[in-house]
Structure formats: structure tokens, C-alpha cells
A and B are shown apart, each in its own frame.
Chain A
């Protein structure tokens, strides 16, 4: 397929993942703060900084600090200067979809566009002002709907796999980043009872609380929750699951594209996955988990860049140089 179309596919659901994660984080944060478990500032600051938007926030709201939930929600949802706001992620996603309307199914486009109109023509804003919880729930439901339409209305060939690779890698990134800030934000001196609620709230961000509790061998501790979110093979937001499924899509793409050699990005992904799969879970979690997660984020980010190089740009540079040489 045309390289820039493949690139647009790769990005399409990366935005979707970000939108959903932001909505889930905000809803869960509200509920958790209301229980007086954390101060406003302790809760919102790491979320605003999650995707590196702290500087922009500070520039816009200068001295107002991080302790104001209205500002935080405004910034994360509507702020046009914040490239990661739900509004902007949506805008990018729709622009992206518009450029590949002939590639994605009409059903997917219609649903995506309908969602955009809901957000921008007043209805969404009205619900936001009336009740924030329902607003974010609506967003979460719509992201799920879009994924459902995607799975059920498109032929599973190259475009499909590029969308899937983007979605899975972005999801792995989001899981790793959130796990990292929640581990850093957890004050260990707090009571056992608080700890249970804290980790339960983290699981709820990934809608993983019910799945987690169904595994009797896990308990609500930092170790078990980390293990679940990193290693649980059966859970679609666990990092290892996402990497595996990205890799499956990769191998299909290799077949479609008909390249004999593995691309650099595929090799990097496969190595990363192997290392994760065969490491000692216990020492991974108990010794330097923060550092491991930071490295993981970096490596996945690098793979995403390498994909651009392997599929969307580099080949042409080489081809051009070959021709002109």
C-alpha cells in the first residue's frame, strides 16, 4: 500500500488509545480524589505531565498550580494549545481518517465523524458542563464502539494490520507510563487499607479490576498489580499482550509487503518481547521497576520511530540515492 496511507493507518488508533486513556484517567482520578485519598495536586500533576505536557500547562495557567480540577479537566480535554488534549487528539484522528477515507470502511468513518460532531457541535460540551462523569463515560464508550466497528467492517489486510500495530504499541506505552507514575506516586508509608484502594483504582483505569480479581493468585499489592499489567498474557491492556499482538500484525505485514528480511523495527520489537517474556518476573518487579518501565517506554517509543523509518520514509531515501547514484 501507499506509504503515507500506511502511516496514516499507523496513527489512526494511536490517537484513539490516548483519548480513551485520558478519559479513563480523569474519571478514575475524580472518584479517587473524592475519597480524600490524595490531594488534588498530587493527583492531577502526574497526569498532566504523563505525555510531557507540564511546560505547556505551566505556560497557560502560570501561577494557578495543579490543584484545580476544573483547570486540569479543561486542559486535558479542550485546551487547543495542548497537543495531547482530547480535543486535539480527536481533531488529528479525524483529519487522519479523512485522508484515508477510501482505505477505512464507511462505517468507521461515519462513526468517527459522528463522534467528532458530537464533541464539537455543542452536544458534548453541554454534557461536559452538565455532568463530567457521563461526558467521559460517553467518550470511553465511543472509543470502544469505534474499535468494534473497525474489527467488524474492514478486511484484515495491510491497512488493518498497520492500524492494529499502532493501537497495540500505543496501548503498551500508555500502560507503561501510567504504571510508572502510579508507582512513583504511591507513598509506601500509607496504611494497608489505603494501598488496596490505591491499586484497585489503578486497575480501574485500565478497566482491569474485574479481570484481575478473577485471578485468585493475585492480591491487591504493588507487586501483583504490576505483574498483571506488565505480564498477564490474557489481558488486552497488559504490556506483554500488546507487544505480542503488535508482533503478530508485523509478521502479517511482512507477508503482504513481501519482504524477505526482517525490518529493524520488527527485530527490535521481537527482542524486546523475548526479553520481557523470559525475564524473572520477580526480580523485574522487585529490583528497579521504575527503571525497567522507563527503559520499556523508551524502547517502545524507539520502535515507533523505527517503524516510520522502515516503512514510511527510509526505503525511499535509499531508493532515491540508488537511482541518483
Chain B
């Protein structure tokens, strides 16, 4: 068993013998008593039988496999060193079948409600008329485009793929931290991490019954195709190009989904139809899985200076000649200032109680709440409502007074752009780092795919804050990742 303080460590004598739990924090693999959780007991003991040197050599093999497969991402600020492997450690994060059932139901419910919300907001706006959510608040979102109102996308589905970020509270309950309904990335790492773990530690893998993740790309393309009225249809993935940090993923998905990987210049619009320029001439495109953000997608409608988009694409989309996945304008639903209203959406549209809880959130746009935020800056996380990737954040407890002052000014100047949340003690998972087993904080991003039916990839991306004491799991901010196991029902 593992202890909090220095001392004897019972039966664990291998790589877990030095593992120390953090206080008041849920650990994914160990009970607070220091014993392995029941569902992972065999796993822990079998991993523990490996010596640290041996484990380090397994870790080297895993890194080699990732590098060889070219499983990399690009960091914007590091010129010259374009490709990095996404740090991966071999200790899996494990979720029991029972826990997963609840998460799965909760995610389907949440994404369904958000999908209806988007249809409503770009249509009748019933939810605003009935004042369930304040009108000004929604219309002020940077992700809302009045120009897209009354456009009914082909296939009638606005969220085709969602990545909903979950965290686990100290009592073990999963909470929704964030919705990603535009271009949620990271799923390629889920598949590559799984392959790497299987091929590095096959024996460990074999002893457990783990749900497969390999068919995500085929499930996803099937879902997209199911929405198109024609049986035979041409689908492409639209990428901003090789300089995008997720370019590896775009190519990975194109290969696994059997799609062309196109850049904006490869596509053109004629008579409100989208075409791809091929050696055999123009071919009509029926489905676009876009990895380009809305504002860059069509210089005719959004940013005029965009070289990444396709002129006329919005017209083709409005004419229902092409499916865009995800639909345009989804940013209004994953705006961090809209997030506090999602439980109300679920109640309003589905007449159900939310299955998954979420984190208490203060809106700077509300005078009272703003006052609270400004008074308690040193105990809160402040987030910019439309930023992602761990950018535009203030982490109160560790921020300098200059940083706090700066945010105070910003909040006062543009309150709609900020929200604040209490510091959440993210759960930890044993992580092999610097040749030692350490508790590191993790979150979980499951992927929800919506075609004619809704499907949730069992597991998702477990991101790890690799720096000691850190809460920031984003890959662009020094985060790593783990394989996530969802166990089969016994």
C-alpha cells in the first residue's frame, strides 16, 4: 500500500513503492487508504513487479514507437523544432464499466441539448424569448454570427463531433469543465497511445478486458456519411496546413477515414457547390470535416484576410449543397460564458435533470459576480471566454500581483470576455516522470460522434499536467497524455 508520508510501503516493492498520494485529491488508481482500487488491483501488482530500470526501458520503447510512427504535434512558439512527440507515459488511467455508463449517458444528454440549443439560436430563439438565458448575453458571444441565422444545415446536425472536458473532484465525481464543439482535437493520440501501449506492454494489456478504440475513424466517417442524402458521397478533411499544431492528426484521420486531406486552395465554389481540384478535373465535394476555425473559413463572410478558407463556402453551406462538420457558428454554444447555462438548457429542451454536474462559474458580466471575482482573484481561475489551449488564463493562487492587476483591468474593461471558477483539485494518476512514479493531475476529454445516431468513444484523451503541482494539462503548455481504459462489463 502507498502512504502519504515517508515510511514503509507494504507489499508494493517495485515501481509503485515510492508513490505518494496528494492530500484531499482523488487518485485514479489508489484509494485514499493507499491500497490499489479494486478494479485495478491486479494491474497495479503486475506493473509493480517491474523494476524501475526495466520500466524506464519500456518507456523508451514506447517513445521510440511514437517517434517512428510520427505521432507528433507542433508547438507554435518553438521555431526550428517543429515536431515534438506528445509526452506519453505507460501507466494507464482506468475507468470502470459502471462509472463509464453514467459518463456516457451524461455526455449524450449534454451534447444533444447543446445541439438543440444551436438549432434554436440560429432559428426561432425560443430559449431567449422565454428568458431562460438572457438574450444580450448570447448575442454578445464572439462565437455567434447573426449572418448565419435561418440557415438550416444539410443533415440537420450541428454538432458532429464534440470533445467534452471532464475533471474528477476529490469525492470521485466527474464534472464537466468545458465544452468543445468547434474543432476538438486530440483523438489521434487516443488511438496512437493505445497502439503504443499494446505493443509495448502486451502482457499487462492482456490481463484486462478493455474496450477497443480502434474503430473511431470508421465510426466517424460512417456518422458523417449517414447524414448525407446521397449514398455515395465525397468527403474531405479541410486542414489549415502543415504549420498547424494538429497537422499530424489531420493526416492521420484522412488516412484512417479514407478522405482527401485538402487545404483551402484545393477547394473552390462554383454555383454554390463545392469542388475539389483533382488531376481529373473538378469533383464535387459533399461533406467537409473542417479543422479550420470558423473565422478563417470564408473570406467572403468572415475574416477578409484569410488565406486558409474557401471563398463562397458559406453560400454553398447555406444552399445545403455541402455538409460542414462541425456546423458553422457552434462557438456560441461552447463559449465559456454560456457554459453556466447548459444545465438550464438540458432542463428546458429535454425536460430532464442533468446527469453530469459541472463547475460553479462566475460571470464577470454580472455586476455582483464581477465584484466577487475581483475580491477573490487569488483563489480563482479566470478564463477568457473564447480562448482555448490553456491560453488567456489567470491562475489566482500562483499569479503575481502584476498579473492580477493586469487581469483586473481587463475584466473591468470588457467583463463579457471573462469568467472565473474556483480552483478544482483535479484528480491525480500515477505518472512515470523523470524515472519515478509521481502523482500528476489529469483531466479527460471523451469524444462524442453524432450522425443519425450518437456514439461515444469509450475512454478519450487523458491529459496530464506533467509539471509538479501544475493544473494545466494542455499539450501546448507542457502537458502529456495517457492511455485511457474503459473496462468491459463483467
Q: Which residues of A contact B (CB under 8 A)?
A: 30-31, 33-37, 130-134, 193, 196-197, 200, 209-210, 212-217, 220
B235, closest chain A residue (CB): A216
Q: Does B195 contact A (CB under 8 A)?
A: yes
CB pair A200 B198 closer than 8 Å: no
Which of B209-217, B400-408, B471-479 sits within the interface?
Answer: B209-217
Chain A residues with CB under 8 Å of B209's CB are: 36
Chain B residues with CB under 8 Å of A196's CB are: 215, 218
Please indicate which of the listed interface residues B61, B206, B212, B488 has the most CB atoms of chain A within 10 Å of its own CB.
Answer: B212
Q: Does B65 contact A (CB under 8 A)?
A: yes
Chain A residues with CB under 8 Å of B200's CB are: 131, 133
B197, closest chain A residue (CB): A34
CA distance A35 to B215 in the complex (A): 12
CB pair B205 A34 closer than 8 Å: yes
Q: Does B389 contact A (CB under 8 A)?
A: no
**28 pairs from A and B in contact (CB 8 Å cutoff):** A30-B198, A30-B199, A30-B202, A31-B199, A31-B214, A33-B206, A34-B198, A34-B202, A34-B206, A35-B212, A35-B214, A36-B488, A130-B61, A132-B202, A133-B202, A134-B61, A196-B215, A197-B212, A200-B214, A200-B215, A210-B258, A212-B258, A213-B217, A213-B255, A213-B257, A213-B258, A214-B258, A216-B235
Q: DSSP class of B's interface residues: helix, strand, loop or mixed?
A: helix
CA distance A197 to B200 in the complex (A): 21
Q: Does B232 contact A (CB under 8 A)?
A: yes
CA distance A303 to B199 in the complex (A): 39
Q: Which of A30, A31, A133, A213 contacts B256 (CB 8 A)?
A: A213
Q: Which residues of B contact A (CB under 8 A)?
A: 57, 61, 64-65, 195, 198-200, 202, 205-206, 209-210, 212, 214-215, 217-218, 221, 232-235, 255-258, 488
| A92 CB → nearest B CB, Å | 29
Chain A residues with CB under 8 Å of B202's CB are: 30, 34, 132-133
| B195 CB → nearest A CB, Å | 7
CB pair A31 B218 closer than 8 Å: no
Chain B residues with CB under 8 Å of A31's CB are: 195, 198-199, 214
CB pair B199 A133 closer than 8 Å: yes
Chain B residues with CB under 8 Å of A133's CB are: 65, 198-200, 202
Chain A residues with CB under 8 Å of B255's CB are: 210, 213
| A187 CB → nearest B CB, Å | 17
| A28 CB → nearest B CB, Å | 11
Please indicate which of the listed interface residues B221, B256, B258, B488 has the most CB atoms of chain A within 10 Å of its own CB.
Answer: B258
| A190 CB → nearest B CB, Å | 13
